[in-house]
A and B are shown apart, each in its own frame.
Chain A
């Protein structure tokens, strides 16, 4: 495999499934092959289904944005293997800190699909309760959440959580190639390393940070960043769901066993635009896009399943029907969003305890909204603050 920085230097990359959908047997990968081999045909069919539904979610959300129903959307097309494969290795007690493009991860974690669009609808800054699925809300400031993941993992350590490859607790954080340039991502690796924190740094190198190729971010393969901080680090073919699954499972088990943090670079490609506001024709070639279409992660798994007799037209039709149902659910659900919340809800949950300045602002706004604004914004301070200063 070559890199996009023009170098043809071979970068060691774990691959268990080639672009034609053949299982790959390479020396030194037996441990990973064993992990992949433990996946049943039913598991693989589940992964395939979830990858297809993730892409359907993308398409439906993009359409909703084009219809004016979403303010923005960031598609994950092309990254389905990286996301679904890694999420399949998670256990319910593990905690996920996504960036903002991890639609496949959230799908596998069982988050409501309409909730996953609240942010993009402009009806929520988050959209779900993180404690319900052990999955944090999206973080828009690039890389900031990798420190939260590390801190959370330091908390897991302090709880005396048992060291067990299945019943221990791991934390995983997703970020992109652009994020690797952020100070916070580098600080997170320092903190994780010196504390042996049970966190997996999962880099989806989709090769584009909006319009900037990875050559604007790095002179070295990005998995070496992890190595430099003393983290066991591995580059995997991010469009190979088997390799992603096996590598992530290994890293998560290491964390659950109390053996510290790991770094995975899933080398993939952002087949779509950065967001619905982006125009990739201004900065990359259709030849490159075509080259990566031939490495499509979904086609690759489909080829494997067909060759192993695990995929037939009936199953495809079943998934198609499920996708149609998802589409209808999204269209109806998204259009119904934000009907119920009053404008004054902007004053809710700013603080957990009463705060006088906020109370004054709220009281003024509510009086104004009722058509009875006081002469002075602060004339009501005494009553608004009451015992709640």
Chain B
């Protein structure tokens, strides 16, 4: 089987070939990425609740069952452990399942299958059995959802060896990253920032598909005075903060991690050694969050380059709040600016 690393994306012979650069919403970009991966490899299949005729509650799988049929786009029973557990068995038989968990808060019934089985079978079998399974999880808040519809549980998975944990921030990244995740022989937790689903951007449908986005951070904006580290939904917040700082005459570098397992430590370190300041932004609770890991690594490696302690902006140690309060919980531009001010005050 050709791996996606060996090719640039083509859709020759497929109906309605997607080509060129188009303006797509974030959700449509994932949809096109799934379609491209399914056209490329007939072992790729989708599993999840309401992903067939409905196209998923966010319509990310819209039209895919019509194109690829019920054997490859499977409306599963309403049981998340079953989705992931059967995906593991399908992977053992040579398939590449892409599971959709309907909302972040519903991944927990599958937590055991993900952390004790999916993450460990390659190791348990000393490499004899690979687990090319992708688990797509719409996550994060800001859409006025009810309980369990706004959470950010990524750190719980990053803490487990054997899993890769990634989150795209733009339609282009979403399109490329979903294909790289599907091509990965390791299991990937693919966190989709649901507040960004409707945002649009240019997507090059012929962008090369390799492995970069699963392993490396991306410098979204160059800067000299402070490094803003973010991923997923917080990258847009970081960019807006950088815009505001620019008006004040401060130059912020914005780093889009893309992956939090692995963390591209070298990229973070290189940036902070240059700027001397670091603020980490994520919607997940700060306590034991990805920011804590980054702060520890930066402190250890950039100690003499730091002008100020690494600061974190994110969720509080509360249950994800009710929709009426969520915008005070989420890391806003104002709260990030406050953290940058504190960093400069040192």
Q: A: which residues have CB within 8 A of B? A: 124-126, 129-131, 136-137, 139, 141, 144, 146-156, 158-159, 183-184, 187-188, 190-191, 194, 348-358, 360, 376-379, 381-382, 385, 389
Contact = CB atoms under 8 A, between A and B. Distances in A.
B89 A151 contact: yes
A357 B163 CA distance: 12
Interface residues of B, number: 53
A351 B186 contact: yes
Contacts of A381: 265-266, 269, 297, 301
Given A183-B81, A187-B77, A377-B300, A156 B161 contact: no
Interface in B20-67: 45
A60 B345 CA distance: 71
A117 to B, nearest CB: 16
A126 B124 contact: yes
Contact of B211 (A149, A154, A353): A353
B227 interface: no
A376 B297 CA distance: 9
Interface string B283-309: 000000000000001001100000000
Please indicate which of the listed interface residues A149, A184, A360 has the most CB atoms of chain B within 10 Å of its own CB. A184
A329 B211 CA distance: 46
Contacts of B125: 126, 129-130, 137, 349
Interface in B202-232: 211, 215-216
Given A130-B128, A191-B77, A353-B185, A389 B266 contact: yes
A247 to B, nearest CB: 24
Given A150-B86, A187-B85, A349 B126 contact: yes
A144 B129 contact: no
Interface of B: 45, 71, 76-77, 79, 81-82, 84-95, 109, 112-113, 116-117, 120, 122-130, 161-162, 164, 184-186, 211, 215-216, 261-266, 269, 297, 300-301
Nearest to B214: A353
Nearest to A136: B92
B296 to A, nearest CB: 9
Among A124, A126, A348, the one with the most B-chain Cβ atoms within 10 Å of its Cβ is A126
Interface centre among B95, B185, B261, B262 (most CB of A within 10 A): B262
Contacts, number: 172
B117 A144 contact: yes
B184 A147 contact: no
A101 B154 CA distance: 35
Name A's interface SS: helix
Contact of B81 (A147, A378, A379): A147
Given A141-B112, A184-B85, A379 B301 contact: yes
B128 A139 contact: no
A187 B95 CA distance: 20
Contacts of B301: 376, 378-379, 381
Contacts of A357: 261-263, 265
Contacts of B262: 355-358, 389
Given A141-B112, A381-B269, A148 B127 contact: no
B73 to A, nearest CB: 12
Contact of B184 (A150, A153, A353): A353
Given A147-B84, A381-B265, 11 more contacts: A150-B85, A150-B86, A150-B89, A151-B85, A151-B89, A155-B90, A187-B79, A191-B82, A349-B127, A355-B261, A376-B301
Contacts of A376: 300-301
B90 A152 contact: yes
A148 B130 contact: no
Contacts of A141: 112, 116-117
B86 A191 contact: yes
A351 B124 contact: no
B216 A349 contact: no
A147 B164 CA distance: 22
25 contacts: A144-B116, A146-B85, A151-B87, A151-B91, A152-B93, A158-B95, A184-B81, A187-B85, A188-B82, A188-B85, A191-B82, A348-B127, A349-B122, A349-B126, A350-B162, A352-B122, A353-B184, A355-B261, A356-B264, A357-B262, A379-B301, A381-B266, A382-B269, A385-B266, A389-B216
